[in-house]
Amino acid sequence: MSCPYVSAAVLLPGIASMLVTTAGRFPIVRNGQHPLRTAVEEWRERETPTPESAWRDETLRTVQAETQLELLAAQDEAGADILDAGFVPIYDEWFQAARAVAGLEVAAPLRYLDTNTYYHHWVLDRIPSRQAENPVVSAYRHATAHTERPIKPALFGPYTIWAYADRQGDGATPAAFAALVDIWAADVAALAAAGVRYIHIEESVVLRPKHRPDFPLVARVIEQIANAAPEATVIVHLACGAIGDLLQPFLNIPGLGGLGLDFTDAYRAPNLAALAGWNGDKILQAGIADARSIRVESEAELHETLTAITSAVPDANCWATPSTALLYLPRHAAFEKLAMLAQAAHGFNRNGAL
């Protein structure tokens, strides 16, 4: 089972307010320029761009590590209490993670949900197997060596990878999916061995009408992943969608430690309505800052949403977060949003008053 909720005062001495965290990757873009972008262009000139060549390239990995420390510092400066690991993959998470899995190829980028970000989907034509650890695992180790803040690494879940994959032959069988889940469980176990306390699993695609019937499959995935790290809190984040009648089934998943929901834009009203059925002591990772809009919400707006949320969920179990990964925004906008989120959450009480 997942570890129990730890209050802010225990987790971070001196802080007795609502905790603030991210919901995935923090952006690197600064006026279109960044050393990592330059390094990627130089790598493409000297190498055939493959997940393996990206991993072997020492220059790329050095600049990735330097960028990671930069992004950890930015989150800390903005006031986040629990940080994303700061890992910036080459191209995207699906591309770089493919290096760790035998029995697949990476194909052309596909648009993820209705965002403006594209990911290299996988081609599965055989039973996959783990040949190395996911790069997020080593990124977590690097992060914890350079900050005392708790780190919450983010992984796309295996169901999302499966849903977007081009599946053929043996790669389209239940055995292939089971093998994918085993790979994820092994990576989560490696994170647990490295001391992780919180793990963010992104499975937003299950809220799409086409995929909602697969919830029982996702539930089994989450239970297996949670069992691989019994001392950690596994939080499943569901952005860009309404939870609806899946709230209770999610809360009933054995080992699940928390659930992330989107309270922005069109999803605010339905997800607030769904919270009437909230029960138990799981964490709610409340996505109240719109990660897909450059506009920075006011403190009053954020307090209004938090007040509505905490009328159903104890504020001691609520973390304030962006609705999804901030990577869709320029760095300055992402920083301003996270800083305002921290200011609002740290000044919030049960009445929503400063």
- The mean per-residue pLDDT over the stretch 44-73 comes to 94
Residue 136 to residue 155: CA distance in whole angstroms: 8
Show the domains of the chain with their CATH numbers.
8-33+64-346 (3.20.20.210)
Cα distances (angstroms) measured from residue 162 to each of 95, 102, 114: 14, 15, 18
User: Across-strand partners of 234?
Assistant: 199, 256
Q: What's the rounded Cα separation, in Å, for the pair 304 and 277?
A: 20
pLDDT band at 269 (very low <50, low <70, confident <90, very high): very high
Alpha helices in the chain (DSSP H): 8-11, 35-46, 51-56, 58-78, 93-97, 135-144, 158-164, 174-193, 215-228, 247-251, 268-274, 299-310, 331-346
pTM: 0.92
Return the pLDDT at 33.
74
The mean pLDDT of the chain is: 92
Dist CA 325 CA 292 (whole Å)? 9
- For the chain, percent of residues with pLDDT exceeding 90: 87
The answer to whether residue 254 scores a pLDDT higher than 90 is yes
> Looking at the predicted structure, is the pLDDT value of residue 42 above 50?
yes
Query: Tell me: the pLDDT tens digits for 137-177?
Result: 999 999 999 999 999 999 999 999 999 999 999 999 999 99
> What is the reported pLDDT for 29?
63
pLDDT digits (tens, 9 = 90+) for 98-144: 999 998 999 999 999 988 889 999 999 999 999 999 999 999 999 99
Write out pLDDT tens, residues 273-328: 999 999 999 999 999 999 999 999 999 999 999 999 999 999 899 999 999 999 98
Query: Residue 31: pLDDT band by 50, 70, 90 thresholds?
Result: low
How much is the pLDDT for 351? 47
Q: Are 203 and 238 in contact (CB under 8 A)?
A: yes
**Of 88-97, 115-124, 341-350, minimum mean pLDDT range:** 341-350
Q: What is the pLDDT of residue 296?
A: 97
* Poorest-pLDDT segment among 10-24, 32-46, 296-310, 339-353: 10-24
How far is it, in rounded angstroms, from Cα 95 to Cα 101? 11
- Spatial distance between the Cα atoms of 95 and 52, rounded to a whole number of angstroms: 10
User: pLDDT class for 349, splitting at 50, 70, 90?
Assistant: low
Running DSSP on this structure, what letter comes out for residue 330?
-
Among 27-41, 45-59, 109-123, 222-236, which stretch is predicted with the lowest mean pLDDT?
27-41
* Amino acid 30: pLDDT: 65
**Whether the predicted pLDDT of 11 surpasses 80:** no
Using DSSP, state whether 244 is helix, strand or coil: helix
Q: Residue 39 contacts by C-beta under 8 Å, 6 or more apart in sequence?
A: 59, 60, 63
For 54-68, 258-272, 290-304, 340-354, which range has the lowest pLDDT when averaged over its residues?
A: 340-354
